[in-house]
A and B are shown apart, each in its own frame.
Chain A
Amino acid sequence: MSDSPTVPGPLGAALCYLREHRQIDPRVDAISDNFAYVWISDLQKSGNGQAPGGWIRLPTAFPFGNPHGLVTIEPLMRKDGALVTDAHNPGHDMCKPVIDLGGAHYYSWTWKDCPPIQDPKDILGVVQWYERTIRNG
């Protein structure tokens, strides 16, 4: 496991807030192209037996920039066992920053038409949004 990169103040504050309110230890495993790959260990999946967890891509300028994409180790599955095909890019370049940690599947979801992010505390809703997108994927 690589050392966790240092993150700028507001993003760091957001991760602290997440740590307190979700009782997990969000881990920044990489920073690439101004995006932090933040491992969320309890990110809920839909498919039966799928282990939780995934890297959400947050701009280092968070909350002054929007999340973009998710990287997972295993492909996401729906409740009925079918693969989530929505915006699924296996082996995409976006996985490279965490490929040594197993990152292999990129889902190119964007924050389009979502409410504006204004506060580090909004990270809680961001993680929930990822879970909802996975569920409906």
Chain B
Amino acid sequence: MTTVGDAIQQDPDNKRQFEIFVGDVREIWDEAIVLARDIILRAGYKEPDKFVLEALDRRGGTPVAEFNPGVRVDLNDKDRKFFRVTPGGGGRS
């Protein structure tokens, strides 16, 4: 079985890869700067523009930042390992 760590070490170009978790879904990205929309889409959401990506301080933890779908996320930044996807929108009555 290949673990994420193995995959990173076996990358022939020795490029850095970024392992993140969106809820229980694991994603591996080859670049540090990724559109929030793409992260949401890869997590299985068919209409990513209706959601917001939230970065958490730990797995299942507290949101520390949120990204609308069109915003770039820098996976090099602190607290960019664990995420959750939350519905966007909302009104007042």
Contacts and interface: CB of A to CB of B under 8 A. Distances in A.
Main secondary structure of the interface of B (DSSP, over half): strand
B92 A111 contact: no
A86 B66 CA distance: 20
B82 interface: no
Interface residues on A, range: 20 to 34
A132 interface: yes
Interface residues on B, range: 10 to 19
Interface of A: 44, 68-69, 86-87, 108-115, 125-126, 128-129, 131-133, 135
A123 B85 CA distance: 13
A2 B63 CA distance: 33
B89 A111 contact: yes
A108 B93 CA distance: 6
B47 interface: yes
Q: Which of B50, B52, B66, B93 has the largest number of chain A CB atoms within 10 A?
A: B93
A44 B62 contact: yes
